[in-house]
Amino acid sequence: MSCFSRLIDLLAGDQGEVKVALRFYLDEFNHVILEGCLDLEGKMICQRCLDAADISVHVDILLKAVRTYEQEKALPAKYDPLFLQKEPIELIPLLEDELLLGLPLIPYHNSDCSSKEFWSTKSKDLVGQRDKEDVVNKETTNPFSVLAKLKNDAKTIQES
């Protein structure tokens, strides 16, 4: 895990495990294919209760090496492009990018974790209930009431 520094920044700590299974081969046209899967077991901060939640991420990889954008456009839909350049491709950042794309946008516990009990300012008797008195006593204001008052004031001045 320590080699995935950007990934660790998004996890709740550096504890976890990444399993990698990759296969490199040439297809019938002698194009380089990278096929495999990544499995991540780790913890992220639950966005409901703000505690650490266990996450499992599985990412399938199927990349085909290309050199130009024309080759990329001609790729079958099942392949993602892997652009070859003059410099060698570093495998760790490539795998880390794939894992980052596979992370959940909003991590949360699989079981129901309710943040009400942690963040409510009401007594336990009122948690989850709407305070009806506030709704009844709430005064509704019309944004045009100021204009109506100005109109009435103008009529009063004209009558005088």
Residue position matching structure tokens 């939640």: 53
Q: Is the pTM of the predicted complex or chain greater than 0.85? A: no
Strand order of the β-sheet with 32-45 is: 16-26, 32-45, 52-66, 80-83
Distance CA(78)–CA(62), nearest Å, equals 7
Q: Supply the pLDDT for residue 124.
A: 57
Tens place of pLDDT for every residue, the chain, 160 residues?
778 888 888 888 878 889 999 999 998 888 899 999 999 999 998 888 888 888 899 999 999 999 989 988 988 899 999 998 888 888 899 999 999 999 988 888 877 776 555 555 556 555 555 555 555 555 567 777 788 888 888 778 777 6
Q: CA-based angle 8:9:14, to the nearest 5? A: 35
Helices and strands in the chain, H and E counts: 6, 4
User: Quick count: other Cβ atoms within 10 Å of Cβ 120?
Assistant: 13
Strands 52-66 and 80-83: parallel
State the sign of the Cα–Cα–Cα–Cα dihedral 107, 112, 114, 117: negative
Q: Are strands 80-83 and 32-45 parallel, antiparallel or unpaired?
A: unpaired
